[in-house]
Amino acid sequence: MVVLTNGVLHCFGSWRGALARACLVGLAAVLIGSMTGRAMATEEPQYSVVERSGDLELRDYAGYILAETEVSGDMERASSAAFGRLFGYITGQNRSRVEIAMTAPVTQTPASEKIAMTAPVGQRQSENGWIVSFMMPASYTLETLPVPTDAEVSLRVVPAHRVASIRYAGRWSETRYLEHKAQLESWIGQAGLNVDGPAQWARYDAPYVPWFMRRNEILIPVSAN
């Protein structure tokens, strides 16, 4: 039997013949599916690369809108707690601003609206814990996005800005985050740039994607001296 749990392929039974082939086919399907899922139409924020050095980049981002929420706790637990809240917003826990002529005179319950998932999921430290965010699709404005029904979810416009970034693969852990954040901060210092805001941890893949295929980034707002 072949079972996928938490991004890990498990094969139960004697490792021979048909089972071996099933495991190999299953693993190939998981890998291809993960890569295909990443490549298929998941909207990401638009940016241009100003400078590149290996996995380090200086980028200029266009503006975008975030749905975000603040949670307390350590980095990894905060991420899990906030994800459900934000996912609830994009899957219908909201009040649509779109008027529907046929039903509006009849119903007293505002319609909800589903919003396409985008990447990455952002996370940055705050005074009270962590702020986790989903980028909203570019087709929306602040005036057309549905209103969150959860008071803990808010919408915020992020204007065009410049960031220094570092990209890395692997597990979602605070240890790896801090390790790569230190590398990025060192590069920023060597480049003579000013840090203009807190670091943001950006995760581009779903939890079922194998850890060694995950795309992670750290983004730090910067400006020239």
- What are the boundaries of each domain within the chain? 2-39, 43-63+159-225, 67-118+131-154
Q: What class does CATH assign to 43-63+159-225?
A: alpha beta
Calpha distance 142→119 (Å, rounded): 19
Is a pLDDT exceeding 60 seen at residue 20?
no
User: So what's the pLDDT on residue 46?
Assistant: 92
Question: Is residue 163 within 8 Å of 219, Cβ to Cβ?
Answer: yes
SS3 category, 213: helix
CA nearest neighbour of 221 among 16, 12, 59: 59
Structure confidence by residue, pLDDT tens digits, 22-41:
343 343 333 434 444 444 45
pTM: 0.74
DSSP assignment of 80-116 equals: HHHHHHHHHHHTT-EE-----TTTTTT-SSPPP----
Question: Is residue 82 within 8 Å of 150, Cβ to Cβ?
Answer: no
- Sign for the pseudo-dihedral over CA of 85, 129, 119, 175: negative
Structure confidence by residue, pLDDT tens digits, 197-207:
999 999 988 87
